[in-house]
């Protein structure tokens, strides 16, 4: 049979597993323990100020205040600084669609189209094609910091990083052995706890799941909207998190939904056509995203039931300036909302059915359901005997997410059977956690000295 473009050759021309093994000679697995911070590393405060460029000025102090809260919070807001550091570490040059911000708090529960709960990566603002190692190292370092914040001893924190890498490696090996279709949809929710031996986490997951089932647009609307004179509804201000916007701004957001509809599959259009736009408000989001433009749009159906869309500004990935240093091609410029949405769909087994993108007043945005039965585990609040369970679970989820774009046979061939990679990642994680604590201390000192404005506790 002739070879068809876009399909693999048959019989196979080479072995991805052997190619992965060969890359160990170029980049030994123990080399991933390396953390060399060179003189080009920006000053901590300068890095934070650079990451604030282009954000809404009145919200920047809130962002800085959130980053100053703890070292783990600082890591959450400093994806760009860590990318600078990671770009100077060894990479296998195996390209994957990466999250770009795969810290331990960016995994969580959300609802599928039928309301069933799925657990997966759930933040893709920084997603881009790059080195899979960057995601794994960011996850491992974040687990050390979360463990320290939770009061776990140093051995437990290091073991969590080790276990995350081990689960990633073992999961990639498992996926490499499965038929491709089975691997593509692998690690269903009911199998995840057993696969990662995360039984100590069951009680926490059950509590989070119960809370997530009630975390819906309708519940948010019941608390955050009021009836208008004409029988409609509107958002109730709750500053500084939720505030009304001028009519002109609200109109621009509402009008942008026309472009958004063109980015959805046609079978979704009748669903949205049965809803009417009633109000638009500005709502602050997460640590890393504070200062970006983010709106909630209230839609009502014929019975007055609500559906809320989040229209969130999509900035260029913080990893983008650092790819070339690591030897990766810089992708061509495009719509940043499209980048986020397509990256998310490439990494998740199940994605929001209303995920799309649009443009508001010249700025790119992503659009998604708001409060789509979302729930999350706070890794910094876990008991010591749960941190390693959570680490194994998130490591496995990260491997599955990467396997959609990087051939698991290739990655598994590199990772191998031994714990050499696990040990290296754990050593890196501890070193980087130490560096992050020093960075955080520098930011806190600058805030106390009045060099950087910060609004604490918001």
Contacts of 39 (CB under 8 A, 6+ apart): none
| Residue 60 counted as domain residue | yes
Cα–Cα distance for residue pair 154/145, rounded to 1 Å: 10
- Average pLDDT of the chain is 93
Residue 114 is part of which domain span? 27-35+42-92+100-211+316-344+380-448
Question: What would the DSSP string read from start to end of 329-344?
Answer: PPPPP--HHHHHHHHH
Per-residue pLDDT at 41: 94
| Residue 266 counted as domain residue | no
Q: End-to-end CA distance of the chain, in Å?
A: 63
Tell me the per-residue pLDDT of 156-175, one tens digit each, with 9 for 90 and over: 999 999 999 999 999 999 99
Check if the beta carbon of residue 457 is closer than 8 Å to that of residue 241: no
| Residue 20 counted as domain residue | no
| Residue 176 counted as domain residue | yes
Cα–Cα distance for residue pair 393/377, rounded to 1 Å: 12
| Residue 354 counted as domain residue | no
CA-wise closest residue to 120 among 422, 438, 396: 396
Tell me the per-residue pLDDT of 274-322, one tens digit each, with 9 for 90 and over: 999 999 999 998 777 898 999 999 999 999 999 999 999 999 999 999 9
Reply yes or no on whether the pLDDT at 3 is more than 80.
no
Per-residue pLDDT at 190: 56
Cα–Cα distance for residue pair 116/93, rounded to 1 Å: 37
Per-residue pLDDT at 112: 81
| Residue 247 counted as domain residue | no
Domain count, the chain: 1
> What pLDDT band is residue 188 in, cutting at 50, 70 and 90?
low
Per-residue pLDDT at 422: 98
Tell me the per-residue pLDDT of 376-422, one tens digit each, with 9 for 90 and over: 899 999 998 899 999 999 999 999 999 999 999 999 999 999 999 99
| Residue 322 counted as domain residue | yes
Cα–Cα distance for residue pair 216/285, rounded to 1 Å: 17
Per-residue pLDDT at 197: 83
Tell me the per-residue pLDDT of 91-100, one tens digit each, with 9 for 90 and over: 999 999 999 9
Check if the beta carbon of residue 271 is closer than 8 Å to that of residue 297: no
- Side-chain half-sphere of 253: how many Cα atoms within 13 Å? 28
Average pLDDT for residues 175-186, to the nearest whole number? 90
Per-residue pLDDT at 187: 65
Contacts of 232 (CB under 8 A, 6+ apart): 278, 279, 300
pTM value?
0.95
| Residue 403 counted as domain residue | yes
Tell me the per-residue pLDDT of 191-229, one tens digit each, with 9 for 90 and over: 777 778 888 888 888 898 898 888 888 899 999 999 998
Query: Percentages helix, strand, coil for the chain, rounded to the nearest 5?
Result: 50, 15, 35
Number of Cβ within 10 Å of residue 53's Cβ equals 9
* Cα Rg of the chain (Å, integer): 22
């Amino acid at each position: 049979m002739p070879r068809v473009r876009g399909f693999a050759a048959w019989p196979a021309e080479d072995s991805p597993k052997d190619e992965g093994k060969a890359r160990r000679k170029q980049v030994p697995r123990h080399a991933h323990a390396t953390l060399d911070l060179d003189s080009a590393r920006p000053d901590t405060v300068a890095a934070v100020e650079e990451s604030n460029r282009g954000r809404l000025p009145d919200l920047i102090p809130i962002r800085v205040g959130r980053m100053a809260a703890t070292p783990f919070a600082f890591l959450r807001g400093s994806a760009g600084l860590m990318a600078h550091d990671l770009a100077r570490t060894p990479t296998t040059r195996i390209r994957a669609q990466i999250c770009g911000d795969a810290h331990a708090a960016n995994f969580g529960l959300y609802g599928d189209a039928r309301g069933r709960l799925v657990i997966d990566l759930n933040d893709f603002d920084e997603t881009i094609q790059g080195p899979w190692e960057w995601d794994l190292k960011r996850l491992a370092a974040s687990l050390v910091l979360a463990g320290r914040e939770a009061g776990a001893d140093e051995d437990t924190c290091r073991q969590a990083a080790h276990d995350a890498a081990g689960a990633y490696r073992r999961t990639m090996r498992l996926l490499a052995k499965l038929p491709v279709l089975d691997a593509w949809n692998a690690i269903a929710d009911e199998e995840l706890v057993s696969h990662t031996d995360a039984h100590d986490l069951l009680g926490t997951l059950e509590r989070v799941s119960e809370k997530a089932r009630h975390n819906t647009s309708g519940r948010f609307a019941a608390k955050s909207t009021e009836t208008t004179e004409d029988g409609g509804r509107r958002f109730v201000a709750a500053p500084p998190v939720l505030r009304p916007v001028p009519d002109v701004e609200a109109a621009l957001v509402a009008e942008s939904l026309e472009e958004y509809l063109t980015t959805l599959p046609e079978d979704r259009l009748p669903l949205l056509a049965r809803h009417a736009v009633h109000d638009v408000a500005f709502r602050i989001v997460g640590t890393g995203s504070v200062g970006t433009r983010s709106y909630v749009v209230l839609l009502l159906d014929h019975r007055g039931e609500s559906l809320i869309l989040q229209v969130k500004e999509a900035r260029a990935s913080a990893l983008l300036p650092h790819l070339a240093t690591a030897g990766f091609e810089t992708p061509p410029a495009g719509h940043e909302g499209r980048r986020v949405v397509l990256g998310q769909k490439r990494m998740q087994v199940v994605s929001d059915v209303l995920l799309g993108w649009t443009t508001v007043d010249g700025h790119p945005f992503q659009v998604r359901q708001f409060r789509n039965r979302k729930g999350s585990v706070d890794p910094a609040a876990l008991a010591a005997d749960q941190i390693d369970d959570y680490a194994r679970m998130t490591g496995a989820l990260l491997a599955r997410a990467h396997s959609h774009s990087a051939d698991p046979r290739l990655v598994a061939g590199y990772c191998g059977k031994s714990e050499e990679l696990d040990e290296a990642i754990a050593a890196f994680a501890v070193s980087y956690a130490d560096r992050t604590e020093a960075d955080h201390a520098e930011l806190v000192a600058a805030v106390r000295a009045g060099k950087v404005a910060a609004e604490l506790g918001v």
